[in-house]
Amino acid sequence: MRARMLSTLLATGMLIVAGRAGAQSAFTVAGVTAQPGTTVYGEVQVPARGTDAGTIIPFSIVNGAKPGPVLTLVAGTHGAEYPPILALQRLRASIDPTQLSGTIVMVHVANMPAFLGRAIYYTPGDHKNLNRVFPGKADGTISERIADLITREFIDRTQYLIDLHCGDANESLRPYLYWTINASPAVVESVRQLALAFGMDHIILDNARPTDPAASVYLENTAITRGKPAMTIESGGMGQSDEESIARIERGVAGVLKHLKMRATGPDPLQHAVYLGRNLVINSQHTGIFYALVERGHTVAEGALIGRITDFQGKTIEEVRAPFAGEILYMVGTPPTTKGEPLGFIATLATTAEFPKK
Ligand SMILES: [Zn+2]
């Protein structure tokens, strides 16, 4: 038990920080080592399996000159979500490792087959959603093998994690983030502080994440179920690379670095957030052509007509109505729709009873 605890501490870097105050250590991922005060680039090789092709996971280690926490930032879990990928390039260039305490690990593109294949939701090759197969399998399909290596090389070795998303290439999305509240009180409180430090004002109280580490499903929840504060953020969408969505992520990471005392300066945490409770992805009942009738950020009444689906000659086959009153966080903004896939996402203000007990 004690040996196990020791290896856990070693894996998270906490022992190194606690035991060698004042001296920063080198940090190694997949055989690539960053000395204190340096930034290095590397690639995790995801091996081929039989006729199933392999891929790479490109990453950077920004290893600070002074000791501190390990923070992992992941982009490209969904390959057509571009602002997070571009924000990490900018952050890599702008963060000076000689002025940093602790270590930032950046996963530049988690799902390379989806990025290069311009694919939404699913990985070309196995048609699985990478963010639904965690913690992954070493002998599984390509998405499962990617997830397994992200779990072992990155999540197992970090203390904090942010999975950076946006609306996929078909989703028109207003910014928000997820605050997982069905975890240990210490993790829940730590994530609350990370969320406010990130500075995005719409925060979803998420109490529906699985609690079994062996079936964590989501990337961020793989960290949470291993006792590590983590959150998923959403900024951008519709396959765009707009300045506002990229800058929002840069600002968010700068706020987190200040909060974790990894950098002396940075934006202050948000004082007032809009907390959202009940939320629902509205799925299509039909395959056809989708017309959205409301936009992201609109507030709608229960039963309001928010979209319709036609068949291919133009006849309406489904009226899509709001299941409850709330704010539209994203709407699908392109015509194709397949039965069972998302059309939009709605959430309503959290009630006092929905907040975690202190
Ligand atoms: Zn995503």
Residue 138: left (phi > 0), alpha (psi -120 to 50), or beta? alpha
Q: Give per-residue pLDDT as tens, 313-350.
A: 999 999 999 999 999 999 999 999 999 999 999 999 99
Distance (Å) from CA 110 to ligand 1 centroid: 11
Distance (Å) from CA 273 to ligand 1 centroid: 22
| Residues within 5 A (CB) of ion ligand 1 | 78, 81, 165
Instruction: Report the pLDDT value the prediction gives residue 22, as an integer from 0 to 100.
Output: 73
C-alpha distances (whole Å) from 70 to each of 65, 105, 260 are 13, 7, 10
Q: Give per-residue pLDDT as tens, 263-297.
A: 999 999 999 999 999 999 999 999 999 999 999 99
User: What is the pTM for the complete model shown?
Assistant: 0.93
Instruction: Report the pLDDT value the prediction gives residue 13, as an integer from 0 to 100.
Output: 47
Instruction: Report the pLDDT value the prediction gives residue 6, as an integer from 0 to 100.
Output: 45
**pLDDT category of residue 357 using cuts at 50, 70 and 90:** confident
Distance (Å) from CA 190 to ligand 1 centroid: 23
**pLDDT category of residue 21 using cuts at 50, 70 and 90:** low
Distance (Å) from CA 15 to ligand 1 centroid: 33
Distance (Å) from CA 175 to ligand 1 centroid: 12
Strands (E), 185-325: 202-206, 230-234, 274-283, 288-292, 299-300, 305-310, 316-321
Query: Over 80: is that where the pLDDT of 18 sits?
Result: no
Distance (Å) from CA 31 to ligand 1 centroid: 29
**pLDDT category of residue 4 using cuts at 50, 70 and 90:** very low
Distance (Å) from CA 171 to ligand 1 centroid: 10
